[in-house]
Amino acid sequence: MGKTNEPGVLLESDRFFNTPSTIAGKLFYYITRCGHYFCTSDYDFRDDCDIAQLPSHRNSTVYYVISGSVYIENASTHATVLPGQIALIDCTLPHRFHALEKSETLWMHIEGCNTKEYFGFIRSMYADRLAFTPPSPLNTKTTMLQLINGFRLPGHMSEGEQSQLIHRLLCELIVLRQEQHIDNRDDSISKVVDFITEHLFEDLSVNDIARSVNLSPSHLSRLFKMRTGFSPHEFITLRRIDAAKELLLTTPLSVKQIAFRVGYHSESNFITSFSGKTGMTPAVFRKNPI
């Protein structure tokens, strides 16, 4: 357990440092430092201080506000983070954390695997806003507390468990925002998936799909990406490739026949698409299915 003497950080606060093993550094998500802070309005952390230059600080940071409010800057963006909200910060860029009032916060610096890409993808789902309300603030808070509490009793959480919790935290931030949860029976995107499935091997355009649910193509594409993580075109391509894999393994049809069967207009386009998504040609997959 580590206490901090940072200005504006109250004594009941905790801060922890973590040095990962060689294996964790290569394969896992891991925390380099984290904390559970109780702050007054005197807390004003800026990136021109010595601690901000340490390697353990210059990475991707998750910042959750339990109570109070914190003003955060990150490069050219800024936001006031309110209770139940989270901010994803790139601490390799200019940044600042300033408690606007007495506040309780959870924070952690994360590295490993594809953390930076994960952060970028999540931010893009929320219109690149610095701070937003996660789909389940309680789940976010609980997972962050689990991770931070794992440092209170060293050795009680393995690096593998820590990595799994970090990954769960990031995945929870990707799911559809709460205000867009709709009963699946009346959900336009569920209807779109049904429509695509029914017409998967036919010529399909985003305009055709949008008309099936009375949405504009741009609005449909945005909602579909938010719900599934795919663009409509990518979703169609992947489902066609899945169908092609089944035919490659269970029928004697030629690659050309399968290409036309799953909706492609030429064998070469099919091979290019299949290879781009799987890393192998259809013929190689047929011989060595994975």
pLDDT in tens, 87-117: 999 999 999 999 999 999 999 999 998 898 9
Does residue 181 register a pLDDT over 80?
Answer: no
Arithmetic mean of pLDDT, 207-234: 88
Query: Residue 228: its pLDDT value, please?
Result: 77
Shared-domain flag, residues 28 and 155: yes
Arithmetic mean of pLDDT, 58-65: 95
Shared-domain flag, residues 140 and 26: yes
Query: Residue 3: its pLDDT value, please?
Result: 62
Evaluate whether residue 6 is within a structural domain.
Answer: no
Per-residue tokens: 234: 């990518």
Per-residue tokens: 83: 């209770």
Question: 66 pLDDT band (50/70/90 cuts)?
Answer: very high
Shared-domain flag, residues 173 and 113: yes
Looking at residue 210, its amino acid is A
Does residue 178 register a pLDDT over 50?
Answer: no
Nearest Cα to Cα of residue 15 among 108, 100, 90, 87: 108
Nearest Cα to Cα of residue 122 among 226, 234, 238: 226
Question: 185 pLDDT band (50/70/90 cuts)?
Answer: very low
CATH of the domain at 156: 2.60.120.280
Does residue 222 register a pLDDT over 70?
Answer: yes
Chain CA centroid to CA 219, Å: 21
Query: Residue 55: its pLDDT value, please?
Result: 86
pLDDT tens digit sequence for 252-261: 999 999 999 9
> Within a 13 Å sphere around the CA of 24, how many CA atoms are in the beta-carbon half?
18
Shared-domain flag, residues 123 and 196: no
- Mean pLDDT, the chain, whole residue set: 89
Q: How many residues does the chain have?
A: 290
Query: Residue 175: its pLDDT value, please?
Result: 60
Nearest Cα to Cα of residue 107 among 86, 92, 126: 86
Evaluate whether residue 3 is within a structural domain.
Answer: no
Shared-domain flag, residues 170 and 28: yes
Question: 176 pLDDT band (50/70/90 cuts)?
Answer: very low
Shared-domain flag, residues 171 and 214: no
Evaluate whether residue 7 is within a structural domain.
Answer: no
> With pLDDT > 70 as the criterion, what percentage of the chain qualifies?
94
pTM: 0.67
* Buried b or exposed e, range 122-144, using 16+ CB within 10 angstroms: bbebbeeebbbbbbebeebbebb
Among the candidates 118, 143, 178, a domain finishes at: 178
Question: 8 pLDDT band (50/70/90 cuts)?
Answer: very high
Query: Residue 159: its pLDDT value, please?
Result: 93
Shared-domain flag, residues 108 and 144: yes
Per-residue tokens: 224: 């579909």
Sign of the CA dihedral with 86 first, then 32, 57, and 66 last: positive
Which is more confident, 87 or 229?
87
Which domain does 265 fall in, by range?
184-287
Shared-domain flag, residues 83 and 45: yes
The label of the residue with tokens 């109070």 reads: 68
Which is more confident, 124 or 195?
195
> Within a 13 Å sphere around the CA of 111, how many CA atoms are in the beta-carbon half?
18
Count Cβ atoms below 10 Å from residue 33 Cβ, excluding itself.
Answer: 20
Question: 187 pLDDT band (50/70/90 cuts)?
Answer: confident
Question: 81 pLDDT band (50/70/90 cuts)?
Answer: very high
Does residue 137 register a pLDDT over 50?
Answer: yes
Number of domains in the chain: 2
Shared-domain flag, residues 149 and 31: yes
CATH of the domain at 224: 1.10.10.60
Among the candidates 142, 157, 178, a domain finishes at: 178
User: Running DSSP on this structure, what letter comes out for residue 175?
Assistant: S
Does residue 174 register a pLDDT over 90?
Answer: no
